[in-house]
Structure 1
Amino acid sequence: MAANRKKKKPSNQQDTYVWKGVNRRGDKVSGDMLSDTAASARAQLRAQGILPSLVKKKPKSFSLGSDKVTSADICVISRQLATMLSAGVPLVQAVELISKGHENTAVRKLLSDVITDIAAGTPLNEALRRHPLHFDDLYCDLVMAGEQSGALEGIYDRIATYKEKSEALKSKIKKAMTYPVAVLSIAGIVTVVLLVFVVPQFKTIFSSFGAELPAFTLVVIGMSEALQAHGPKILVALGIGIYFFLRTYKRSRKLRDSLDGLLLKLPIVGMILNKAALARFARTLATTFAAGVPLIEALDSAAGASGNAVYRKAILSIKSEISAGMQMNLAMRNTNLFPPMVVQMVQIGEESGAIDDMLNKVANIYEAEVDDAVDGLSALIEPILMAVLGVIIGGLIVAMYLPIFQMGKIVS
């Protein structure tokens, strides 16, 4: 009997139902809504004074990325919520409006869960903490500070600004990294195609010459033969190597920390990552401190948000020294990591009692510098990549035509 019972769907697994009906005025109305079942949807409609004539589950359409909530979605939701709260819209109603207006099903389900919790009397920060994949501790701590101070709309404006700045900075870093990786990947594919399909054709032609081939040509032919004979093995070995590296990277804190330190020492890219870490540190600390979060707790959030192990350890060291009674600017100077300008601005902020304003200015400065550095890197890297492509592809072509040129000299 128990085996034949229909398994109940979890309460957080709601579906979208399309409905049509007639309202109290006799007008035909339609729309869609989230509900557990069609019967529950009909009940909700009747409670709103609508007599439903059709209620059916909306068919799922294929859409890339529609089945997950991204950080960009959280950024947009935060700004919408900040705008509605500042306009005086009640919290539950604001979240409901955002949910109904969002096309992403996963986002709508997430907001539906939050609505259920806060409508039952759960504080917003606790409702958000139940979804740690989408709302981190920093986000929830800021919301809690806003609820405790009674200024949630003002805090949400800060949260939205912080998320927008963070997303913009992340986008700039991705822009700096994606272009060279994409170009080099294409270069690798073109090289493999030439070695596997083009070079063997030249090898057949050269075998009829009966003459000794240049060393450069022999090296390229050897690479071609090795790729043809062991290509699948090389591909499998490469795939296994990448898999185990990524697996180790996720599990080993020591490896991640070592790579973070190595990346900061790279030319050009290291400079961008240093500035980005400083911008994140300053923006996070300014936002949390201005929201009323104690400095020690704010430093914990800033350490996690810095995005780099070197800066995380330095910020935690600053926290430890401040807890012992040291001024923040002195603790920062002791790390030998923060530029003198940043330390001086923090010192001025401490002396004037406006440390959050000074940190915001630091964040603005370094975000602008990251923007300029990424633009400069894009302009610099294009000719470098073209030169690399020219050497790789041109080298293969020269290697294949070199015997023909030598034959031409002998004939002449």
Structure 2
Amino acid sequence: MPFFAYKARNNRGELLEGVLEGSDSGAVAEQLFTTGATPVSIVETKKKATDGDNGEWWRQLFEEKVRSIDVQLFSRQMYTLLKAGVPIMRGLAGLQESAVNKSFSRVLKDVRESLDAGRELSASLRRHPEVFSTFYINMVRVGETTGRLEEIFLRLFDHLEFERDMRQRVKTALRYPTFVVVAMIVAIGVINYFVIPAFAKVYAGFKAELPWMTRLLIASSDFTVQYWWVILLGLVGAVGGFIAWTRTPKGRYRWDKIKLRMPIFGKIVLKATLARFARSFALASKSGVPIVQGMNVVAQTVDNAYIASRIEQMRDGVERGESILRTAVTTGVFTPVVLQMVAVGEESGSLDDLMDEIAGMYEREVDYELKTLASQIEPILIAGLGILVLIMALGVFLPIWDLGRAAIK
């Protein structure tokens, strides 16, 4: 998303300046309004908010990037410090000095300087959208307005722990299939570039008509040897074009929708996304965020444009006075069991607790799907590998077999 340089004034009339990321100037203005600031000017810029000396940009390129675990630990430490009664400025100073990640230390330094200038903590964190997500900042804003900032930081820590655990389990489950697919691609390249050309020279001495499968393999090998650069450029262009397409709003929406319909992987992505939605909704609800505002914030955390549009559809329905159950049914993404739990939670007034239950249920299902992912993919990989070996074997050995049969006759 583009970046916008803004000037705004807070409730005390002080001038605030910075850079925010947003889909358009209206979205940036909405972010400023949520922090209690009134925008004066918003201009698109290509320059991100910096957290260090511009003269040291070359050194920052080689420093470690801020990771999600850094933000997670920061949340836990802030909870501990605030619960112990340590002032925010003194706590941030200690965290800055003890931060192992130098990039994150500079971020904390900028946050402290921003607080010194009279900004609120949420507005100071908003200066670094590449480190703190919109959901994170909005939850801190809620904590400031409700006076439950330490509780918000603890819940954010649990939320980030869930997100990190989910990503790690997905990576672990995909490690074996990825290794097999890469090995198959490398094997195909080696066979096309080295093995088949050697057999082609032998077949040329036969001076006999070769089977169509052998001719196909030889033609494929010749193209790979002579035009490998075309294949490489084609792959790079395809990957680059795909990435550029998914970065457009329309392309990302379509790709996120396609991901949900993929065999095997689609149901895992859907359940993980809905688990993230339910957990975030429960967190926002327990923190005192109104339902409409909470859905608006949660829609930015699901990391799926298609599901986000369905959550926004739910928000619009709630704004019109419809029940959460009715709006959830119209989205078409929730299972009947979940809809029943939403109905009970809405009727009993314990929707946040039941949303936690929904998140736990989806998390258990995702965990089971990830544990059985290798066994689900294995037959597909074996079938693909078998077809590849069959094509190679028939293409390579059919001519030899035909010549041997002719010699026997």
| Range into which the TM-score falls when normalised by the shorter chain | 0.7 to 0.9
Cα distance, 1:177–1:308 mapped onto 2, change above 3 Å? farther
Which residue identity lines up with residue 52 of structure 2 in the other structure?
Answer: Q
Corresponding residue to 1:13 among 17, 28, 52:
52
Q: CA deviation at 1:237?
A: 2.5
Which SS does the other structure have where 2:152 is aligned?
A: helix
1:232-247 mapped onto 2 (5 Å cutoff): 232-247=229-244
- Structure 1 residue 347 corresponds to structure 2 residue 343: yes
Aligned residues: 359
Does the 8 Å contact 2:264/2:376 carry over to 1? no
Cα distance, 1:11–1:289 mapped onto 2, change above 3 Å? closer
Unaligned runs of 5+ in 1: 1-9, 16-35, 38-58
What's 1:274 paired with? 270
Cα distance, 1:11–1:236 mapped onto 2, change above 3 Å? closer
Q: CA deviation at 1:362?
A: 0.6
- Structure 1 residue 231 corresponds to structure 2 residue 270: no
Does the 8 Å contact 1:289/1:295 carry over to 2? yes
Does the 8 Å contact 1:191/1:393 carry over to 2? no
Does the 8 Å contact 1:172/1:370 carry over to 2? no
Q: CA deviation at 1:396?
A: 1.9
- Structure 1 residue 308 corresponds to structure 2 residue 304: yes
Does the 8 Å contact 2:134/2:300 carry over to 1? no
Does the 8 Å contact 2:281/2:355 carry over to 1? yes
Q: CA deviation at 1:188?
A: 1.4
Cα distance, 1:176–1:224 mapped onto 2, change above 3 Å? same
Q: CA deviation at 1:120?
A: 4.1
So what's the TM-score if we normalise by structure 1?
A: 0.80
Instruction: State, as a whole percentage, how many aligned pairs show the same letter.
Output: 32
What's 1:389 paired with? 385
Instruction: Tell me, in whole angstroms, the C-alpha distance in 2 between the residues paired with 1:12 and 1:330.
Output: 46
Instruction: Tell me, in whole angstroms, the C-alpha distance in 1 between the residues paired with 2:311 and 2:190.
Output: 49
What's 2:37 paired with? none
What's 1:96 paired with? 93
Q: Deviations over 1:275-320 (max 9, x none)?
A: 1121111111111111111111100112222222332222111111
Q: Deviations over 1:180-201 (max 9, x none)?
A: 3443233112201210111111
Which SS does the other structure have where 2:128 is aligned?
A: coil
Instruction: Tell me, in whole angstroms, the C-alpha distance in 1 between the residues paired with 2:183 and 2:87.
Output: 52
Does the 8 Å contact 2:60/2:103 carry over to 1? no
- Structure 1 residue 72 corresponds to structure 2 residue 82: no
Which residue identity lines up with residue 109 of structure 2 in the other structure?
Answer: S
Corresponding residue to 1:321 among 309, 317, 320:
317
What's 2:23 paired with? none
Which SS does the other structure have where 1:304 is aligned?
A: coil
Corresponding residue to 2:129 among 128, 132, 139:
132
Cα distance, 1:218–1:67 mapped onto 2, change above 3 Å? same
Q: CA deviation at 1:157?
A: 0.5
Which residue identity lines up with residue 141 of structure 1 in the other structure?
Answer: N
Q: Deviations over 1:325-360 (max 9, x none)?
A: 122112212333322222221222222222111101
Corresponding residue to 2:284 among 285, 288, 296:
288
Q: Deviations over 1:112-143 (max 9, x none)?
A: 21122224443211110111111122111111
1:96-245 mapped onto 2 (5 Å cutoff): 96-177=93-174, 179-245=176-242
Instruction: Tell me, in whole angstroms, the C-alpha distance in 2 between the residues paired with 1:170 and 1:277.
Output: 11
What's 1:20 paired with? none
RMSD: 2.6
- Structure 1 residue 409 corresponds to structure 2 residue 405: yes
Instruction: Tell me, in whole angstroms, the C-alpha distance in 1 between the residues paired with 2:331 and 2:237.
Output: 39
Which residue identity lines up with residue 98 of structure 1 in the other structure?
Answer: L
What's 2:42 paired with? none
